[in-house]
Amino acid sequence: EEKRLLAQEGVTLPGTLPLTQAEERILKKVRRKIRNKQSAQDSRRRKKEYLDGLESRAAACSAQNQELRKKVQELEKLNGSLLRQLQALIKQTSNKAAQTSTCVLV
């Protein structure tokens, strides 16, 4: 990677050591570019993983929401049915003649 970036910038480093200060600066600059490139790749990867996680959570929440909506509809139907039954029972008992009863407390 270093060699490719050096060639891209048109710089050739000698194969012998020590390097001059200018050559060291160029080498540091190339290495910094490599680190920055790797960091940017890691950042994009983490962002993609995060977004994938959010998308899967959103899909799961949407599915759960649909299930809960169905359950609410079923419970509303049941509630309506029970309410009609209760009203029918009240009507039946109100049509009967009033009965008197005695309660004894011991």
Task: Give the pTM.
Answer: 0.57
52's tokens: 């994938």
Q: pLDDT value at position 4?
A: 77
Instruction: Give the pLDDT confidence of 23-47 residue by residue, as tens digits.
Output: 788 778 888 888 898 899 999 999 9
Q: pLDDT value at position 86?
A: 95
Report whether 5 contacts 30 (CB < 8 A).
yes
Residue 100 pLDDT exceeds 70: no
The single-letter code of the amino acid at 95 is N
The whole-chain average pLDDT of the chain stands at 86
**C-alpha–C-alpha distance, residues 13 and 25, integer Å:** 11
